[in-house]
Amino acid sequence: MTVSTIKIAPSLLAADFLHLGDQIAAVERGGADRLHLDVMDGVFVPNISFGMPVISAARRATTLSLEAHLMIASPDDYIHAMAEAGANSILIQVESAKHLDRALEQIKQLNKRAGVVLNPATPLESISEIVELLDVLLIMTVNPGFGGQRLIDYTLDKVRRAREWLNLRNPACDLEVDGGIDVSTIARAAAAGANVFVAGTAVFGAEGGAAVGIQRLLNAVNPPSP
Ligand code: DX5
Ligand code: ZN
């Protein structure tokens, strides 16, 4: 895979919240493809992060595409609010959606990109009926709720199978991985077939700053020729 097909989606969860504007500008300059926004409600996952006010502030700070990853108990009820706040893509966990088909339809009607997210233990088969409806398929490579966790190896097999499905049924769909993506894991996730890589700690926690973190991730997939 070439660098241009490898897309980095920095997760704002790992940013310095006192300096969000600067942090967003740094990843925009550093070549981020989109900004990943982890919305957590303390019910679907055992953590609370941020919601619409932070998304609309990010909207004012950048022209990057904003991707809202909803880790909340009733995602169906917040689609409008996320779109209104400025999200360009809305990603719904299949485990918490009440009516997934309707939710995806609502997202598309708002002219936003529609995506689903599968937890590590959720089988790929749970979305077999709706593969063609997706703009984004996100495979969690950790259990959702926290940054800084280790990638769970068996999830990469699901990425491999998802790549086969998408090649056959929806090749334009992004195949994204989220959790534990760093310089030691990104190449394996890319080899499994992912093309979008969410990274929080590896970007915002990078020594030298977020732009350096993005470059290191890209280099780990495609080492620069000597
Ligand atoms: C976890 C979130 C991730 C998280 C990734 O629930 O969905 O987006 O921020 O963080 P890292 O890259 O540190 O594993
Ligand atoms: Zn996420």
Which of 113, 114, 125, 158 is closest to 140 using CA atoms? 158
Q: At a CB cut-off of 8 Å and minimum separation 6, what does 20 contact?
A: 12, 54, 57, 58, 61
pLDDT band at 4 (very low <50, low <70, confident <90, very high): low
> pLDDT value at position 57?
98
Task: Flag whether pLDDT at 5 surpasses 90.
Answer: no
Structural domains of the chain ordered from first start? 3-221 (3.20.20.70)
In this prediction, residues 119-129 reach a mean pLDDT of 98
Say yes or no: CB of residue 120 within 6 Å of ligand 1: no
pTM of the predicted model over 0.85: yes
Closest C-alpha residue for ligand 1 atom 4: 147
Tell me: pLDDT of 208 over 80. Answer: yes
Q: Is the dihedral of CA 21, 82, 142, 43 positive or negative?
A: positive
Q: Is residue 202 within 8 Å of residue 183, measured between CB atoms?
A: yes
Cβ of 149 less than 6 Å from ligand 1: yes
How many angstroms separate the Cα of 96 from the Cα of each of 48, 123, 138, 178, 198?
16, 14, 15, 18, 21
Ligand 1 contact, 213 CB (< 6 A): no
| Cα distance between residue 174 and residue 191, in whole Å | 15
147 lines ligand 1 (CB under 6 A): yes
pLDDT higher than threshold 70 for residue 129: yes
**What letter does residue 77 receive in the DSSP assignment?**
G
Is the CB of 200 inside a 6 Å radius of any atom of ligand 1? Answer: yes
Residue 101, judged by CB atoms within 10 A of its CB (0-12, 13-18, 19+), counts as exposed
pLDDT bucket at 60, cuts 50 / 70 / 90: very high
pLDDT tier at 223, thresholds 50, 70, 90: confident
pLDDT of residue 209: 97
**pLDDT over 70 at 1, yes or no:** no
Tell me the average pLDDT of the chain. Answer: 97
CB atoms within 10 A of CB 78: 21
DSSP secondary structure of 152-192: -TTHHHHHHHHHHHHHHH-TTSEEEEESS-STTTHHHHHHH
**Most informative mutation of 140, 149, 214 for ligand 1 (most atoms within 8 A of CB):** 149
pLDDT digits (tens, 9 = 90+) for 137-181: 999 999 999 999 999 999 999 999 999 999 999 999 999 999 999
Q: Does the pLDDT at position 40 exceed 90?
A: yes
Task: Determine the distance separating the centroid of ligand 2 and the alpha carbon of 170, expressed in angstroms.
Answer: 22
Q: Which residues surround ligand 2, an ion (CB under 5 A)?
A: 38, 69, 178
Is residue 226's pLDDT more than 80?
Answer: no
Ligand 1 pocket, mutate which of 23, 201, 203, 204 (most atoms under 8 A from CB) = 201
51: confidence class by pLDDT, cuts 50, 70, 90 = very high
